Amino acid sequence: MDKTTELILRKRMHGLYLSRQCEDITRLSRELLGLHCWFHRNVPFSALIRGAGIAGWKTALTKTWLYRGTLHGVVYEDLPTLLALHPGESYLTDYLGEERVQRIADEVIRVMEDGVYSRAEMRRIFASDYDAETIDAVFSPWGGVFVYLARHGKVAFRDMTSRDFDMISAEPTQTSDEVLPELLRRYFAAYGPATAADASLFFGLWKDKKKLGGLNLDEFSRLEHDGKTYYYIDDGADTGDIPALTLLSGFDPFIVSYAERGAVLPTEYKSAVILKSGICNPTIAVDGQVAGIWNIKKNQPVVTFFAPQPKRLQNAAFELVDEIRRATSGAT
């Protein structure tokens, strides 16, 4: 690894709390712009790895759809700002049309006002009003109308582990152009050094690259490497060294938040880490690079390295996973 790549990874690991600790899960979520939770247990995994306590984590954060259409656990007060980046976007409108989706969404809100919060129950309630194809689309396991309502700040999951929904009031009050400069500063503060392409990927702006291109990036520190410009905020902090051993959660931001992942995820291991389904497994990094995967299955720690490692590293990884197993066993 060349010295510039090492510097980039060292700064990223510091910003993402992989070489230091963040004791509060809400602060962690706020600084990282949400914790990825396609599988909800990755939230306590990610928090524990970074030194945060998980007491009350199921209600400390709000689970909803953000950015690239993925689920995140976020601080409730941050929702109006975070949702403003893609106000009201939903794949459902491309399928059924904006006017029809809005009409159905209004009907769903009225049902929720009457005390119905279950997607399965709503399927039964609306079954006589719409054809089976529409019902499947509107109440799809992938979100359906609830993505549309969530993007408007009107609903979110009841808690981090629930499949039911609650009504909320977190409607965006600013435009996408108004919130983007602030969100970009927060991104480069936590995730930098990162390129404009990295930020575009993170915020799901690949369809509108002009948004980032039109911003003045001169306020950020920068470095050049392999023909690319990396931006970051230089706060003068001592970033420390890259840890010899680091656990990473499933969909860990250290892996999934960048367009170019080769420095962290060697090509030969990519298929074992990011599956064809899009799932990103929990991993083990040695000196900042992915070297294995871990999990907790049937309440037992499972550690698999891709290549032989010293016995002390194998034992240390097993102990770290076992600590997470104990901490998350029955966690509420």
pTM of the entire structure?
A: 0.94
Q: How confident is the model at residue 208 (pLDDT cuts 50, 70, 90)?
A: low
**Mean residue pLDDT across the chain:** 94
Is 209 a residue whose pLDDT tops 90?
A: no
> Closest Cα partner for 326 from 56, 59, 44, 58?
44
| Chosen domain end from 119, 136, 151 | 151
Alpha helices in the chain (DSSP H): 3-15, 25-31, 42-49, 57-60, 79-83, 91-96, 98-113, 119-126, 132-138, 145-151, 176-191, 196-202, 210-213, 253-256, 270-273, 311-328
Distance CA 252, CA 121 (A): 34
Inside any domain, residue 101 = yes
Boundary (domain end) residue, out of 151, 177, 197:
151
Does any domain span residue 38? no
Residue 114 lies in a domain: yes
pLDDT tens figures, 224-258: 999 999 999 999 989 999 999 999 999 999 999 99
| Cβ–Cβ under 8 Å, residues 82 and 34 | yes
Count of structural domains, the chain: 2
Q: Classify residue 96: in a domain, yes or no.
A: yes
| Contact by Cβ (8 Å): 78, 30 | yes
* pLDDT tens column, 57-73: 999 999 999 988 899 99
Residue 73 maps to a domain:
no
From 105, 134, 151, the end of a domain falls on 151
Both tokens assigned to 219: 């306020």
- Residue 103's domain spans which residues? 91-151
- Amino acid type, 83: L
Domain membership of residue 84 (yes or no) is no
- Please report whether residue 176 resides in a domain: no
Beta-strand pair 70-74/35-36: antiparallel
Is 116 part of any domain? yes
